[in-house]
Amino acid sequence: MERHSCALDSSLTGVISGSGSLVKDGAGLLSLTGANSYAGGTQVNAGKVALDANSALGTGAATFAKDTELSLGISKGISVANAITTDGIIKQSNDFDSSLTGVISGSGSLVKDGAGLLSLTGANSYAGGTQVTAGKVALDANTALGVGAATFAKDTELSLGISKGISVANAITTDGIIKQSNDFDSSLTGVISGTGSLVKDGAGQLNLTGANSYAGGTQVNAGKVALDANTALGVGSATFAKDTELSLGISKGVSVANAIEVKGEVDIHSGSFNSSLTGVISGSGSLVKDGAGQLNLTGANSYAGGTQVTAGKVALDANTALGTGAATFAKDTELSLGITKVSRLPMQGRIHSA
């Protein structure tokens, strides 16, 4: 057993091997910088431990008591695979890119301060929450953020999926950016709040199912977004690029009040549910509706690319609900005029029935 029991700062820079363990009792800082292989585990009862090698904690599990701190990286980024139980704090406060690939459990929390990237890939269960004040965090497991709430400050970034799609249930408060930039299908099922925004770049599908209130808007540059709550897009406006897709309802119909800008052809999937778009739809793009359900358009819309209805029903409750372009309705589709009031289509508009 290797024991560090004083209040002074110390370092173990050589390689520590064997079947034994390391116990830290004192209030000081212990720096572990060697590629260690000791197998008996690490127990930190007080103070701080800083790591500067991937295997600095050996090959066993590590336990950190209340009010302790584990710091990742001194001179470089590291990737730590140990199972870690913490009732204290795990902190990354530098500009290096580091990873925690083992399972993190306990009542403790994770704090990210530095500009670097922190990748969390384990099926974690730590309960104290996650606080990201700077830099980026990338997730590669459904419970990578543990079971507590997560807070992301301004100019931070949360990335969904590294090697696969994930489903994140944590409540997330963000004043930064949540980004999906890959081709995997992922989900955010917890409530997303804050002043931040959501950016979707990859070809995969992003499912948003929470009653969200984030205010910074949504930008969909590629792929698909599926909604399963009325406020899934938060309270800001949403922009959909050419060849993107919006699905209304996964398990039920939804009523979406966000202002939406379409910059190209945007496919609206209504499935078998009845859904509504009540905000103003603008832009140069078009709407293509499929699915047997009814789509209610109630806003004074100005999108210019036209409307194509390949299945189901469309009900209008505003004079310009179909935007300013032509509308095409396929066989066995239905157009209903007026939900709460009389709708008058402009004379220069055209409806084509296939």
pLDDT tens-digit series, residues 274-290 = 999 999 999 999 999 99
pLDDT at 345 over 60: no
Distance linking the first and last C-alpha atoms of the chain: 81
At residue 323, the pLDDT reads 98
Specify the pLDDT at position 348. Answer: 40
- Lowest-confidence range among 22-36, 42-56, 105-119, 340-354? 340-354
Cα(11)–Cα(50) distance, rounded to whole angstroms? 9
* Percent over 90 (pLDDT), the chain: 92
- Over residues 178-192, the pLDDT tens digits come to 999 999 999 999 999
Contact 142, 122 (CB under 8 A): no
* Total count of residues recorded for the chain: 354
- What does the pLDDT average to over 159-177? 98
**pTM, two decimal places:** 0.94
Mean pLDDT of 146-155: 98
E strands in 189-258:
192-193, 197-200, 205-208, 218-220, 224-227, 238-240, 245-248, 255-256
Q: What is the pLDDT of residues 91-142, one digit of tens each?
A: 999 999 999 999 999 999 999 999 999 999 999 999 999 999 999 999 999 9
pLDDT at 350: 45
For residue 10, give Cα distances in angstroms to 6, 47, 150: 9, 11, 33
> What is the average per-residue pLDDT within 326-339?
94
Quote the pLDDT of residue 347.
37
Residue 109: half-sphere exposure toward Cβ, Cα within 13 Å: 12
- Residue 342's pLDDT is what? 58
The average confidence (pLDDT) of the chain is 94
Cα dihedral 81, 60, 143, 120, rounded to 10, equals -20
The pLDDT score that the predictor gives to residue 339 is 86
Backbone angles phi, psi at 297, to 5 degrees: -115, 115
Pairing of strands 238-240, 260-262: parallel
At 220-265, the pLDDT tens digits run: 999 999 999 999 999 999 999 999 999 999 999 999 999 999 999 9
